[in-house]
Structure 1
Amino acid sequence: MNRAPAVAGSFYPADAATLSHMLNGFLEHAASGTQAPKAIIAPHAGYIYSGPIAASAYARLKPVRDSISRVVLLGPSHRVAFQGLAVSAADTFTTPLGSIAVDRKAIEQLRQLPFVGYLEQAHALEHSLEVHLPFLQQTLSNFKLVPIVAGDASPHQVSQVLDMLWGGDETLIVISSDLSHYHDYTTAQKLDRHTSDLIEALDYHTLSSKAACGKVPVGGLLKLLREKSLHIKTIDLRNSGDTAGDKYRVVGYGAYVVE
Structure 2
Amino acid sequence: MDKNVEVNWIQSREASHSGSWYSDDPDVLSNQLSNWINTQQVPQCNSRLRAIISPHAGYSYSGSTAAFAYSAIDTSMVSRVIILGPSHHVYLPGCALSVAKQFQTPLGTLHNDTQFCTDLLTSHSDSFSVMNKRTDEAEHSIEMQMPYLAHIFGKTENTLDRVSFVCVMVGALSNSSEKRIGNIVAEWLNDSRNLLVISSDFCHWGNRFQFTTKCINGEEIYENIERLDRQGMQLIEAKDASGFSSYLSQTKNTICGRHPIALLLYAINTLGSSKFDVKFVQYRQSSKCRSQRDSSVSYASAIITSNPSNPPQ
- TM-score normalised by the chain length of structure 1: 0.91
**After the TM superposition, which residues 180-199 of structure 1 pair with which residues of structure 2 at under 5 Å, given as runs?**
180-183=203-206, 184-199=221-236
User: Secondary structure at 2:104's aligned position in 1?
Assistant: strand
When structure 1 is superposed on structure 2, of 167-176 and 100-109 the one drifting more is 167-176
Deviation by residue 1:190-223 (Cα, 9 ceiling, x = unmatched): 1111121121122332242634111111001011
Contact 1:77/1:122, CA 8 A, preserved across alignment: no
Counterpart residue number, 2:62: 50
Counterpart residue number, 1:144: 164
Give the counterpart of 2:246 among 176, 186, 206. Answer: 206
Indicate how the Cα distance of structure 1 residues 81 and 135 shifts in structure 2: closer, same or farther if over 3 A, else same. Answer: same
Matched letter for residue 157 of structure 1? R
Q: CA deviation at 1:167?
A: 4.8
Give the counterpart of 1:14 among 19, 24, 49. Answer: 24
| Structure 2 residue 170 is matched with structure 1 residue 124 | no
User: Secondary structure at 2:77's aligned position in 1?
Assistant: coil
Counterpart residue number, 2:196: 173
User: Secondary structure at 1:146's aligned position in 2?
Assistant: strand
Matched letter for residue 231 of structure 1? D
Superposition CA RMSD, Å: 1.8
Contact 2:228/2:253, CA 8 A, preserved across alignment: no
| Structure 2 residue 284 is matched with structure 1 residue 238 | yes
| Structure 2 residue 39 is matched with structure 1 residue 29 | yes
| Structure 2 residue 102 is matched with structure 1 residue 92 | yes
Indicate how the Cα distance of structure 1 residues 100 and 182 shifts in structure 2: closer, same or farther if over 3 A, else same. Answer: same
Matched letter for residue 193 of structure 2? E
Indicate how the Cα distance of structure 1 residues 164 and 105 shifts in structure 2: closer, same or farther if over 3 A, else same. Answer: farther
Deviation by residue 1:45-104 (Cα, 9 ceiling, x = unmatched): 01111111110000011xx22231210100000011122000122101111112110001
Contact 1:67/1:170, CA 8 A, preserved across alignment: yes
Contact 2:51/2:196, CA 8 A, preserved across alignment: yes
Structure 1: 5+ residue stretches without partners? none
> Displaced runs of 4+ in structure 1, greater than 6 A?
none
| Structure 2 residue 263 is matched with structure 1 residue 220 | yes
Indicate how the Cα distance of structure 1 residues 176 and 158 shifts in structure 2: closer, same or farther if over 3 A, else same. Answer: farther
Contact 1:199/1:232, CA 8 A, preserved across alignment: yes
When structure 1 is superposed on structure 2, of 144-153 and 247-256 the one drifting more is 247-256
Aligned length: 253
User: Secondary structure at 2:253's aligned position in 1?
Assistant: coil
> Aligned partners of 1:223, 1:122: CA distance in 2, in Å?
27
Structure 2: 5+ residue stretches without partners? 1-10, 154-158, 207-220, 306-313
> Aligned partners of 2:282, 2:117: CA distance in 1, in Å?
32
User: Secondary structure at 2:129's aligned position in 1?
Assistant: strand
Contact 2:239/2:269, CA 8 A, preserved across alignment: yes
Counterpart residue number, 2:81: 71
Q: CA deviation at 1:43?
A: 0.5
Identity among equivalent positions (%) equals 31
Q: Which has the larger radius of gyration?
A: 2
